[in-house]
Amino acid sequence: MEAFEWIRFIVGTAVILCGLFIFIVEVYGIFHLKYVMNRMHVAAMGDTLGISISLIGLMIFSGINFITLKMALIVVFLWFASPVSSHLIARLEVSTNDGIKKFCETGLGLSENGEVVQIEKEEERG
């Protein structure tokens, strides 16, 4: 039984260290990327993945009990809430930033009612 505890400790520690590594990469990306949308993407993905992996490591430490179920529900909530909130923040940035066209080369934009539409380039109009 003691060997099982050591294996659980080693695996849990490895998983938590992987989550910590993801947080370190996230912080590096936030401070070294230049455009706000890239920074937001790194922050959203890093938080979702880093917290989820760290909580999985804590679930391994905790064993099978009610606390593990609570942590699993937190992971599920984060996997739903973080992408939705980062998408809404990105959409707000696209709709309020007039200078976004110099950063994006997709040819897409938002119409007056908030729908994504194809934007004509200056060369094509004229």
By C-alpha distance, which of 115, 91, 117, 110 is closest to 37? 91
pLDDT of 45 > 70? The answer is yes
- Indicate the domain borders of the chain: 2-97
In sequence order, the 6+-apart residues with CB closer than 8 A to the CB of 121 are 107
Indicate if the pLDDT at residue 1 is higher than 90.
no
| Distance from C-alpha of 27 to C-alpha of 36, rounded to nearest angstrom | 14
Cα distance from N-terminal residue to C-terminal residue, the chain: 78
How sure is the predictor about 125, in pLDDT bands with cuts at 50, 70 and 90? very low
- For 49-105, the pLDDT digits (tens) are 999 999 999 999 998 899 999 999 999 999 999 888 888 888 888 788 777 766 666
Q: How many Cβ atoms are within 10 Å of 120's Cβ, its own excluded?
A: 11
- Span 16-30, average pLDDT: 93
| Residue 50: closest CA among 29, 79, 19, 28 | 19
